[in-house]
A and B are shown apart, each in its own frame.
Chain A
Amino acid sequence: DAKTTQPTSMDCAEGRAANLPCNHSTISGNEYVYWYRQIHSQGPQYIIHGLKNNETNEMASLIITEDRKSSTLILPHATLRDTAVYYCIVRVATTSNTGKLIFGQGTTLQVKP
């Protein structure tokens, strides 16, 4: 699975959009980009995933560049409860994939009032 690079930490004002970048320059054509987050001491929570098209759900939007070498997770209106560590994970989605997630250090997002 390709390696990802994320900033160690970011701040965001409450009510503003939080834009979390992720670089995955070695991504392969059959690798998806997944985002999870971990709110302090809780189990990780799935947010969104995509292959090459932009994706949106009730939690967030995922913007993937045309060359797929980077992506941005957007939380449109950050709240204090969005303070968490956000993980960008790239993994192959084939029937032979065991499905394990390889977590990096992630980005610690601090939402401030």
Chain B
Amino acid sequence: NAGVMQNPRHLVRRRGQEARLRCSPMKGHSHVYWYRQLPEEGLKFMVYLQKENIIDESGMPKERFSAEFPKEGPSILRIQQVVRGDSAAYFCASSPRDSNNEQFFGPGTRLTVL
């Protein structure tokens, strides 16, 4: 049973470009979470999704950031018009049907904005 997969592992973008980060949860997991870790800082919750629904986006910046988890395919975290302050490691986690189960994290995508 493969773990949580994220791609790309490393992403370089210039200011103003768009970044798309993909997350494939573990097989059988229908809950996905995105977290961000800025350099030398702790992990911060961004958004929680179930299939086709955003459940909690209280940690998402109000502008430029969006997330989706379609019926088919991976979850996508999209950052429009990236700025240098978006440079961070973005981690995805998944859990089974009950959101109170432990979360299994992917290896992360390291975004660098030039």
Q: Report which A residues bind B (CB closer than 8 A).
A: 32, 34, 38, 41-46, 49, 93-95, 97-106
Q: Are A103 and B43 CB-contacts (below 8 A) given A43-B106, A45-B105? A: yes
15 A–B pairs (Cβ distance < 8 Å), ordered by A: A34-B102, A43-B91, A44-B43, A49-B102, A94-B100, A99-B48, A99-B99, A100-B48, A100-B58, A100-B59, A101-B33, A101-B43, A103-B35, A103-B42, A106-B42
B95 beta carbon closer than 8 Å to chain A? yes
B74 beta carbon closer than 8 Å to chain A? no
Q: Are A97 and B103 CB-contacts (below 8 A) given A42-B108, A43-B108, A44-B91? A: no
Q: Are A44 and B105 in contact (CB under 8 A)?
A: yes
Q: How far is the CA of A101 from the CA of B93 in the complex (A)?
A: 10
On chain B, the residues within 8 Å of A42 by CB distance are: 107-108
Q: Are B100 and A101 in contact (CB under 8 A)?
A: no
Q: Are A93 and B100 CB-contacts (below 8 A) given A99-B33, A104-B42? A: yes
Interface centre among A45, A97, A98 (most CB of B within 10 A): A98
B89 beta carbon closer than 8 Å to chain A? yes
Contact pick for B33, options A32, A49, A100, A106, CB 8 Å:
A100
Q: Which of B22-37 contact A (CB under 8 A)?
A: 31, 33, 35
Nearest Cβ on chain A to B56's Cβ, whole angstroms? 4
Nearest Cβ on chain A to B102's Cβ, whole angstroms? 4
